Amino acid sequence: MKKYIVIFIIVFFGCNDQKLKWFSGSLEEAFLDQDNKIIMVDFYTDWCIPCKQIDSETFTNEEVINKIEKNFIPIKINAESKYGLPLFEQYKGTGYPMILFLDKNKNELDRLYGFYGPDSFIKKLNNVLSGDGTFTDLLTKYKLGDNSSSTIYELAKKYFSKGEFDDAAVLFEEVLRNKDLSYNMFHESNYSLGVIKLYGNSTEELENYIKQHPESFLLKQSILNLLNYYKFSYLEKEEVNLYETYLSRFSNDPLFLNQYCWRMTELNINLNKALQKINISLSIIDENDNNRAMINDTKAEILWKLGETNKAIIIINESIDLDPENQYYQSQKNKFLNSIN
């Protein structure tokens, strides 16, 4: 069960009879298709919530379907499959869903990450068709002497999304030297440079950004990135200290509290404090919030780790009642029951 959430989305899936006709062959076969259309590749995973949301809300929209089927060859690829994973890595994917636009010569025209609603997605499709604001368009403008912060900044983001971090870093630094940069450009450029340094196993830049800009709108995202880096680098002391430093700052954020509490169960430390914090999380989250089942599951795990198995079973039953289709919660219950025997 993935407890670490980078993007928090509440999803309400509706019913829609409209369906996009996806290309049934491989990407290689799509390149050989006789239609002179741009290839649109949707890299998804089975667990990705934004992937499911764009499927249910955007790819069922009649206007979106008509626009795609008229101008694109859409192909869907599971980024974690035997076929899809090498392709996702080849294109240096950094998130899901990744919507890639390629011409018939296999040149990348543009890419998108995350969820876009129908109106926003149609605007992006129109940009790809016209070339406006795409990677190629921005690079051409920059090479022709457009040194405005907006052009350099947008081009830097394109390089970043392509996984070409060295080029992105050079441009983000150029943005910060410009005098016409906006407030958002300043923070997003500094944040992006910090994340790029993380890929190079250096935490100093992002740590300094967090310390120097405690009121940044990117503070939480910066902390989440640093926490994940510490986790996967096995820097347990630094990770726990960072959580402890910002628990009070995000005391009204039920999902941040949940992330802290679940991580404590993984590390098997601070469980009594985790129980206190998860109760706070449950007290402040809306009764109808889709994440409530997940937070209940965290509480059940804490109780089980504390030896309160019967209480854990009662709480996990609440998660099952809230999300009866989720097999993970049933497996949790079975784990608790088996521990009694």
The per-residue pLDDT for range 142-196, each reduced to its tens digit, is 999 999 999 999 999 999 988 899 999 999 999 999 988 999 999 999 999 999 9
Strand partners, 40: 74, 101
What is the pairing mode between strands 98-102 and 108-113? antiparallel
Determine the pLDDT at residue 5.
35
- pLDDT band (50, 70, 90) for residue 46: confident
Give tens-digit pLDDT for 94-103. 889 999 999 9
Task: List the one residue out of 329, 332, 243, 265 whose CA is nearest residue 293.
Answer: 329
Does the pTM surpass 0.85? The reply is no
pLDDT over 70 at 2, yes or no: no
- pLDDT attached to residue 65: 96
> What would the mean pLDDT of 227-251 be, rounded to a whole number?
96
Span 234-247, mean pLDDT? 97
Residue 7 has a pLDDT of: 35
pLDDT of residue 36: 85
Task: Please say whether the structural domain 27-132 has been given the CATH code 3.40.30.10.
Answer: yes
Per-domain boundaries in the chain: 27-132, 251-341
Please check whether residue 131 is in contact with residue 137, taking contact to mean a CB–CB distance below 8 angstroms. yes
Mean pLDDT, rounded, for 199-216: 96
**pLDDT at residue 49, rounded to an integer:** 80
Identify the residue with better confidence: 6 or 184: 184
HSE, side-chain direction, 13 A CA sphere, residue 118 = 12
What is the pLDDT, as a whole number, of residue 17? 53
What is the Cα–Cα distance from 218 to 210, expressed in whole angstroms?
9
Fold exhibited by the domain 251-341? 1.25.40
Query: Which of the four pLDDT bands, split at 50, 70 and 90, describes residue 11?
Result: very low
For tokens 């949301």, name the residue.
53
Q: Residue 85, class by beta-carbon neighbours within 10 Å (0-12 exposed, 13-18 middle, 19+ buried)?
A: middle
Name the percent of the chain lying above pLDDT 70. Answer: 95
Look at residues 224, 196, 193 and name the one whose alpha carbon lies nearest to residue 209.
193
